[in-house]
Structure 1
């Protein structure tokens, strides 16, 4: 089983101390956490992409290139690239360059991001077109990486005629690509049809709600030759030497993060509702994990077995968590949790 450190790049004040960081300090903290993740034995580092909100991760390839300069073994990926909102030609170019400057370590997880309707608005798109935009762009991205000359027309961008991607990525046939999502059978079918991994999103509800999507994905994959279904998932995690320490320090931060995230989505996507957080239920039955290294290990193993996961994306720096605390958690995960997940 692989373990990646994940950040969504939210830029919030610490609700416990009231301390805020500058955007530059938040970027620097993300890079330092990646360096620490490599030293701790993580397999990869993933950066989310968000727009129109208090996030510093609007350009994951730029942040990942900075991480590439400070690391040598980490796989460098996204979680997710908002491919429905992006020009797939530019995305293909950006990640080809990242693959080159990192020595062949680039990865990508792509998603629709349709929870944030405002993103479609600011890019001059309609949320109603999100599925068509996404599926067209995934297939075009793969063609640009693998074909010498591409002629194409569709909804997302002006037509292409005999276009050859330059530069070409190092990895052949292309950098690893995964489909992010879990809310619909259509996403599972798309990932299976293209022979790509499926990465389940983070959230606050019971993880077993993804079981039907996972089963749909694995069943659809039975007709795909030459590869096996692979499943990843994202978890909010807080680990400390004791369970009491982890729960007490995380409760105010995770509660504030949950409330902020729900308000943010509600403000951008009409009709979205967010239930009040039940902290104890969420960390024992939901998609969050908090406790001692032994408790975190046990919970991650259970979740991995429940959803047949081979890659865990672990998110520890949400909601204004101070960098020293984040670095301590990365070190503790590396020494006492990751070896038992391998």
Structure 2
């Protein structure tokens, strides 16, 4: 199994202390966490893309380029690149540049994105966002593979024998399709023979397991080898401690703050107690043995080979955060790497 840390770069008050970092300090924290992830042996670090409050992740190529300059080994992920909002030619230019600067360490997770504010900024409607995502990806993948492209579509000017520079380092890049509940993303991934990354965050396991089963069915329908299907899955939160009692004690105020935030936003929580959150969500909270058992139970349903943890401290102190990630890598990751073999990263092939 491979392990990623992913951040959407939320810019809010700390759920425990109430302190809010400056924008510059928040970005510095993101980069420092990426450096820590490489130091501890995580396989990848991902930066989301959002264009509305409370996120400041509107420019992932810029953030990932800075991280690329501060690291040397870790794979760099987008999570997700919102192709429904972007000109695929401009996105290609940004990410081909990043691929070269990083030494070919880039991996893309694409998706349509969500949120009405984002759609309003880019004049994208709910009726066209899926079509924009599919069309944008089809052009993007051609640009990555072909030196000259002739193309026409609905949402941007046609290209005639077009050259787009710079050419990327990786040929081709691996593109994952991120999906929370949508079969549209699953179908696009299966059609092109691309890996799927299930959000697996907001609900119990059932809807995500059903979506992954559908992906594997469509993968086979499109004629791909079932043994080559690659699946990743997210987690709703993580805190590992030596004992379950310690983990619950530390995470309780963090969970209480999350509930309070949902209440202020007028949202109805899916999990109303910490005990229910730990039991029925994908959150990994407990002792190393408990977390290993939970990941293996999810793997029995998903067959996933890659998992992401939240990169942010999210109410933990810097010491608690480092200690937690260190414990995860020393006592959990080795067991799961042994129990769940994963295909190599491109650099390892």
Give runs of aligned pairs for residues 147-166 of structure 1, distance below 5 A.
147-166=146-165
Give runs of aligned pairs for residues 180-199 of structure 1, distance below 5 A.
180-199=178-197
> How far apart, CA to CA, are the structure 2 residues paired with 1:262 and 1:200?
26
Q: 2:323 aligns with which of 305, 319, 328?
A: 328
Between the two proteins, the alignment pairs up a number of residues equal to 334
Give runs of aligned pairs for residues 227-266 of structure 1, distance below 5 A.
228-235=228-235, 236-257=237-258, 259-260=260-261
Structure 2: give runs of 5+ residues left out of the alignment: 338-349
The alignment status of 1:9 with 2:4, answered yes or no, reads: no
Give runs of aligned pairs for residues 256-295 of structure 1, distance below 5 A.
256-257=257-258, 259-260=260-261, 274-275=269-270, 277-295=272-290
SS at match of 2:228: coil
Please report how far the alpha carbon of residue 314 of structure 1 lies from its aligned counterpart in structure 2 after TM superposition: 1.0
SS at match of 1:280: helix
SS at match of 1:84: coil
Q: Which moved more, 1:315-324 or 1:15-24?
A: 315-324
Q: Note closer, same or farther for the CA distance 1:83–1:274 as it changes in structure 2 (3 Å cut).
A: farther
Structure 1: give runs of 5+ residues left out of the alignment: 267-271
> How far apart, CA to CA, are the structure 1 residues paired with 2:256 and 2:95?
35
Please report how far the alpha carbon of residue 312 of structure 1 lies from its aligned counterpart in structure 2 after TM superposition: 0.3
The alignment status of 1:338 with 2:333, answered yes or no, reads: yes
The alignment status of 1:167 with 2:146, answered yes or no, reads: no
> How far apart, CA to CA, are the structure 2 residues paired with 1:273 and 1:93?
41
> What is the RMSD computed on CA atoms of the aligned residues?
2.0
Residue aligning to 1:269: none
Q: Deviations over 1:282-310 (max 9, x none)?
A: 21111212112222222122212221101
Of the two structures, which has the highest relative contact order with CA contacts closer than 8 Å and spacing of 6 or more? 1
> How far apart, CA to CA, are the structure 2 residues paired with 1:64 and 1:258?
31
> How far apart, CA to CA, are the structure 1 residues paired with 2:256 and 2:156?
40
> How far apart, CA to CA, are the structure 2 residues paired with 1:15 and 1:186?
35
Give runs of aligned pairs for residues 1-342 of structure 1, distance below 5 A.
1-114=1-114, 116-172=115-171, 174-222=172-220, 223-225=222-224, 228-235=228-235, 236-257=237-258, 259-260=260-261, 274-275=269-270, 277-317=272-312, 319-342=314-337
> How far apart, CA to CA, are the structure 1 residues paired with 2:263 and 2:198?
19
Q: Note closer, same or farther for the CA distance 1:161–1:287 as it changes in structure 2 (3 Å cut).
A: same
Q: Note closer, same or farther for the CA distance 1:334–1:196 as it changes in structure 2 (3 Å cut).
A: same
Q: Note closer, same or farther for the CA distance 1:57–1:274 as it changes in structure 2 (3 Å cut).
A: same
> How far apart, CA to CA, are the structure 2 residues paired with 1:122 and 1:297?
42
State TM-score, norm by structure 2: 0.89
Please report how far the alpha carbon of residue 257 of structure 1 lies from its aligned counterpart in structure 2 after TM superposition: 3.2
The question of whether the paired residues in 2 share the 8 Å contact of 1:133 and 1:156 is answered with yes
